[in-house]
Structure 1
């Protein structure tokens, strides 16, 4: 089984021949048709959902900012202690 080459499925072969027939302009038009079809599937959130999503994102960003700030402070103090000989305490 491993020695036999993989065969292309019928649908894939048909799609490849359609792309060859279509040409460059036809391919571009098909792309835009598919984009419009996907955009029709998009559901806009309600006002309540939008506010909820916004608050979740802002809370996440604030938590991540605090985490990065604390880690930066800790690693900065450790680097100063190791390379500069500054004391770890007091923190200011």
Structure 2
């Protein structure tokens, strides 16, 4: 397949390029472009300040879905099992590397 210049393209091209249609035009670019955000007035306060913080924390804590006691036991056991496995891996690596260094240096 050749392009309008009579040359074969170096890499495969998309269907739109084969028919001469560009996937992006000036009009579609302007339509899809997000508008610029407005700058904030430095004197405008967005938060309620330090006094409102405890009330906001309390309202957010009410929204939290707390795990049940059974779930906490399961999560704790999973963490302990993970720690035991990781500790065994690190311990084994330490022992093997110590044996290897000892074997190399004492030979």
Same structural fold, with TM-score higher than 0.5 when normalized by the shorter chain: yes
Moved over 4 A (4+): none
Q: 1:63 to 1:44 in 2, by over 3 A?
A: same
- Offset, 1:45: 1.5
Q: Which has the larger radius of gyration?
A: 2
Q: Which 5+ residue runs of structure 2 have no aligned equivalent?
A: 1-35
- Change in 2 beyond 3 A, CA 1:14/1:29: farther
Hey, what does 1:56 align to over in structure 2? Answer: 78
Q: Distance in 2 between matches of 1:15 and 1:30?
A: 20
Farther off after superposition, 57-66 or 28-37: 28-37
The CA deviation at 1:14 is 7.0
**TM-align CA RMSD:** 2.8
**2:40 aligned to which of 10, 13, 31:** 13
Greater helix fraction, Structure 1 or Structure 2: 1
In structure 1, the partner of 2:51 is 29
What TM-score do the two structures reach when normalised by structure 2? Answer: 0.52
Q: Which residue of 1 aligns with 2:4?
A: none
Unaligned segments of structure 1, at least 5 residues: 1-6, 87-92
- Considering Cα pairs closer than 8 Å and 6+ residues apart, tell me whether 1 or 2 has the greater RCO: 1
Q: Is 2:63 the partner of 1:41?
A: yes
Number of corresponding residues: 72
* TM score, norm. by length of structure 1: 0.58
